[in-house]
């Protein structure tokens, strides 16, 4: 009898446990990580939110909204939902409401409000074609709300020997005012441009030529500078460097029509200050006066690795901030560097971040409105064969305030950034190969990714720009009419671009 009673009691306990388990299993979970999204005013602007659920669910878009779409409208369990604009607006649109409902009728729905930020509206996209190949590397704003862009042009695939530097002046509406193609018989390219304080401009690049428009090449590859006025009339044309490879990575305007050049070099003679023999690249910082004469120079070197200082920006105290790397070689251990220098190239301080496998190719940096700095570079992501874009915000002394990392299932590289005045945050222009993960809206082979960051580095909205082929944005500037322009290049004849006839076309994308 006792044995029978014990068996019955045990069976009752098991049944009660199973019933409780079933009751627990029946509890429905449905939630979202954001209750409001903000989308730009142009077609293709994107944002995303995450659904957490243990049941099937579906999404309803209110019937009055005709300007957005979701990439997935139903599913089971957890899912990230990408929301994209399908119409371009020039006036404020009423917010949309997304309602997420569970398959469990007893579970209350959750909602996500979607707001249009129509200040981020496309003004125009222009393609500039000349010969077979055009790629714009940089730009500077002009007083008439236009811009001057610089880059490279030539016939056939890049790597042939007949490539020249290109300078193009554009109006506020993107029309060509004038264009100049300069170079010799080898590969010549303009990488950067600066507006000087005497009302002129200097385009600076790299040249392998010793003939044609190129004057005074010292060796394998020199830094090549051409000064011109607003109508494109050349004032002077100079080469700077030594016998080995010399490369330009940044320019800064100085008083009296002079400017600062940030270079990498292996040369140890010619215009380059004498230094100890080394197989590593050094950073060479020098000043050029209004007449094109070098005014001294500083070498920053490391006996055990390359010093790749890659980007330059003016600070609010008349100095310069530099972003770059100290690296033994490409693709191995590197350290990211944020360096403050004087106009003569003397180091005021240097901060180092993230020793690891970094991409020592680009390190854009900007001076922020609070007196600090924002720097970006790429490093190994969770999938270690690919790179993610990392953002480091510092105070005025270079101490880290916050850091953010963004990327998807392939490579992300930040090429350029700019401050939005009035505490509105930052625009970052990245190169992305990802088609899933943190980069929504991938279009094709390689896309431009425009991200709008708030002051804490969070993405407010982002927008991929491109087509099914290779597209890239190298520089973003603010024009005199308080709009923004991205310059780069495109192979695409579809998507946002369309109409590329040659191998590669120069791209100009203006938005507000």
In a domain, 19, yes or no: no
Question: 14 lies in a domain?
Answer: no
Structure-token match 């106009």, residue found: 343
Three-state DSSP at 19 gives helix
Q: pLDDT digits over 68-97, tens only?
A: 889 899 999 899 898 887 776 655 568 899
Shared domain check, 227 and 94: no
Q: Which of 65, 98, 117 is the last residue of a domain?
A: 117
HSE of 453, CA atoms in CB hemisphere, 13 A: 27
**Claim to verify: residue 427 and residue 499 sit in the same structural domain:** yes
Coil vs helix vs strand at 104: coil
**8 part of a folded domain:** no
Would residue 22 count as lying in a domain?
no
Query: Which CATH number goes with the domain that contains 340?
Result: 2.130.10.10
Tell whether 490 is covered by a domain.
yes
Most confident of the following: 45-49, 217-221, 498-502:
217-221
Asked if residue 267 belongs to a domain, the reply is yes
What radius of gyration, in Å, describes the C-alpha atoms of the chain? 27
pTM assigned to the model: 0.80
What's the CATH number where 106 sits? 2.60.40.10
Last residue of a domain, one of 92, 117, 142: 117
> Which 3 state secondary structure label does DSSP give 12?
helix
Domain that holds residue 195: 122-511
List the one residue out of 305, 303, 382 whose CA is nearest residue 337: 305
The burial of 25, by beta-carbon neighbours within 10 Å (0-12 exposed, 13-18 middle, 19 or more buried), is given as exposed
Domain count for the chain, please give it: 2
Q: Are residue 112 and residue 259 in the same domain, yes or no? A: no
In the structure, what pLDDT confidence band is assigned to residue 24 with cuts at 50, 70 and 90?
Answer: very low
Question: Does one domain contain both 82 and 196?
Answer: no
End-to-end Cα spacing for the chain:
86
297-335 pLDDT tens trace: 888 888 888 888 989 999 999 999 999 988 876 556 788
In a domain, 391, yes or no: yes
Coarse DSSP helix, strand, coil percentages of the chain, rounded to the nearest 5 percent: 5, 55, 40
**403 and 279 belong to one structural domain:** yes
Claim to verify: residue 218 and residue 300 sit in the same structural domain: yes
pLDDT at 435: 63
Strand partners, 483: none
pLDDT on residue 354 = 76
Structure-block tokens of residue 372: 């600090």
Same-domain pairing of 98 and 241: no
| Final residue of a structural domain among 76, 92, 117 | 117
Residue 216 in domain:
yes
Half-sphere exposure of 59 (CA within 13 A, CB side): 27
- If asked whether residues 302 and 449 sit together in one domain, one would say yes
Does residue 34 sit in helix, strand or coil?
coil
Question: Which value, to the nearest 10 degrees, does the dihedral of the CA atoms of residues 419, 226, 250, 386 take?
Answer: 90
């Amino acid at each position: 009898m006792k044995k029978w009673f014990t068996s019955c009691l045990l069976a009752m306990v098991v049944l009660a446990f199973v019933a409780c388990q079933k009751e627990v299993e029946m509890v429905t979970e449905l939630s979202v990580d954001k209750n409001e999204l903000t989308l730009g005013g142009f077609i293709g602007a994107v944002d995303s939110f995450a659904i957490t659920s243990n049941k099937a669910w579906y999404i309803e878009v209110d019937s009055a909204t005709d300007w957005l779409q979701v990439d997935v409208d139903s599913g089971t369990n957890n899912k990230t939902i990408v929301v994209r604009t399908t119409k371009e607006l020039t006036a404020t649109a009423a917010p949309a409401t997304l309602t997420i409902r569970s398959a469990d009728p007893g579970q209350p729905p959750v909602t996500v409000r979607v707001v249009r930020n129509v200040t981020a509206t496309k003004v125009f996209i222009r393609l500039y074609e000349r010969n077979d190949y055009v790629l714009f590397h940089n730009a500077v704003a002009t007083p008439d709300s236009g811009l001057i862009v610089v880059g490279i042009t030539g016939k056939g695939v890049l790597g042939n020997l007949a490539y020249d530097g290109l300078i193009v002046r554009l109006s506020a509406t993107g029309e060509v005012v004038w264009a100049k193609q300069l170079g010799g018989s080898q590969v010549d390219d303009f990488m950067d441009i600066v507006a000087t304080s005497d009302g002129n401009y200097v385009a600076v690049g790299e040249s392998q030529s010793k003939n044609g428009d190129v004057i005074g090449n010292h060796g394998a590859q020199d830094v090549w500078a051409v000064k011109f006025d607003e109508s494109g009339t050349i004032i002077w044309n100079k080469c700077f460097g030594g016998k080995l490879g010399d490369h330009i990575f940044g320019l800064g305007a100085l008083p009296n029509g002079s400017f600062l050049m940030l270079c990498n070099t292996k040369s140890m003679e010619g215009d380059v200050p004498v230094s100890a023999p080394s197989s590593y690249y050094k950073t060479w910082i020098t000043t050029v006066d209004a007449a094109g004469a070098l005014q001294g120079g500083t070498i920053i070197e490391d006996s055990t690795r390359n010093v790749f200082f890659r980007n330059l920006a003016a600070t609010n105290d008349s100095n310069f901030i530099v972003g770059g790397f100290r690296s033994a070689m490409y693709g191995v251990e590197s350290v990211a560097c944020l360096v403050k220098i004087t106009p003569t190239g003397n180091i005021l301080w240097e901060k180092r971040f993230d020793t690891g496998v970094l991409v020592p190719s680009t390190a854009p940096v900007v001076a922020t409105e609070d007196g600090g700095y924002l720097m970006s570079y790429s490093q190994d992501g969770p999938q270690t064969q690919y790179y993610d874009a990392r953002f480091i915000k510092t105070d005025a002394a270079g101490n880290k305030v916050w850091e953010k990392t963004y990327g998807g299932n392939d490579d992300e590289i930040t090429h350029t950034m700019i401050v939005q005045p009035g505490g509105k945050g930052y625009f970052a222009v990245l190169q992305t190969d990802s088609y899933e993960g943190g980069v929504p809206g991938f279009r094709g082979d390689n896309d431009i990714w425009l991200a709008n960051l708030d002051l804490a580095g969070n993405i407010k909205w982002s927008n991929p720009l491109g087509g099914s082929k290779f597209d890239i944005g190298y520089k973003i500037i603010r024009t005199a009419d308080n709009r923004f322009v991205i310059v780069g290049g495109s192979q695409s004849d579809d998507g946002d671009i369309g109409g590329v006839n040659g191998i590669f076309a120069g791209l100009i994308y203006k938005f507000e």
